[in-house]
Structure formats: structure tokens, C-alpha cells
Amino acid sequence: MLAYSRLAYKNHDHDQCIVVALKKAEAVCEKKNVRLTAIRKHVFKEVWSSHQPVGAYDIVDSLALNVNTGKRIKAPSVYRALEFLTKLRLIHRISTLNAYIGRSFSEKIYNNFFLICRNCRVTAECSTDQINNVIEHTAERTGFLVEQQVVEIIGLCPECKKEE
């Protein structure tokens, strides 16, 4: 069964995506008894600002001033927030692009994959147990222990495909 985040490829009320994601993030933090600090929340919202992966320095630039201190948020603070959010499985790191994107299927640990448009960088998170089963079966046959799995597929989104 394939679960597919089609919203990345359609016009929609993206503010709703952010609201829902933030509620999930707050619930996860409460359940794990950790704080979603102001900086972490700002970084989270920046990552979720679109369906395009965003780099750490893009986040630093967009968070020009920290509302709490009036000082510029520095890269190490953003990287710590990104690490925190990644460990809680609230966001993904897209290795191919050295960037981060909101996690649509936070309950899934390994069986997510990404369809990344090489032109506009819009990214759809998809999920299927079939990919996970193939990887687990292959790893088991070779005695390999899977600790992390990220499948990134580069191509063209429907809009960019029309243009080519």
C-alpha cells in the first residue's frame, strides 16, 4: 500500500500543513518530555514553510533576528535545533540537497522515500512498506543491520515536466 503526499505537487492552503505539523510537533515534545523552545519552533516553521527542502544557512538568513533577545540567530543554534528536530523525527535531512524538509509521515521510521524535482526542488514525501520489505530482506540476507535509510529520487514534478 502506497501512501503518497500529493500536496507537494498541488496548490493548497499550505498554512494548514504548518498548523497540523506544529500541533504534531508539540504533542511529540510533550510526550517525550522535551521543550520545543522558541528557536526550535522558529526553525521548525521555516523548514515547514514550503514543500521545498531548505538549507541551514537559508534558515539563518530568514530568521534575521531572534524575537527573544534581539540578536541574530547564529548558525550553530540553527544546527542544534535541526539536530533536535531530526532526532525526534519531526523533520528529514535530504542528503542529496544538504537541506531539510518537514516530515509528513512521522510515525514511519524507515519506509519513506522522496521524489525531488531537479528543476524547482519541490519534494514529495512518500511511504510504502514494499521498499522497506525489499531493503530489510536484502540486509537480512547479507547480515547487514539497517540503522538509517533514506531513498531520494530525482526527476521532474508534474509542473516542470509540462514545461520541458
Higher-confidence residue of 73 and 9: namely 73
pLDDT greater than 70 at residue 25: yes
pLDDT digits (tens, 9 = 90+) for 100-127: 998 876 555 556 788 999 998 888 888 7
Q: How far apart are CA 30 and CA 20, in angstroms?
A: 15
> How many other β-carbons are positioned within 10 Å of the β-carbon of residue 156?
17
Q: How far apart are CA 127 and CA 105, in angstroms?
A: 7
The predicted structure's pLDDT at residue 1: 36
The predicted structure's pLDDT at residue 7: 47
Is residue 12 a contact partner of residue 62, using CB atoms and an 8 Å limit? Answer: no
Higher-confidence residue of 101 and 11: namely 101
The predicted structure's pLDDT at residue 30: 95
* Domains annotated on the chain, with CATH: 9-163 (1.10.10.10)
The predicted structure's pLDDT at residue 72: 77
Is residue 96 a contact partner of residue 135, using CB atoms and an 8 Å limit? Answer: no
Q: What's the whole-number mean pLDDT along residues 44-56? A: 90
The predicted structure's pLDDT at residue 146: 83
This prediction has a pTM of: 0.78
The predicted structure's pLDDT at residue 3: 41
Angle between helices 38-47 and 14-31 (to 10 degrees): 140
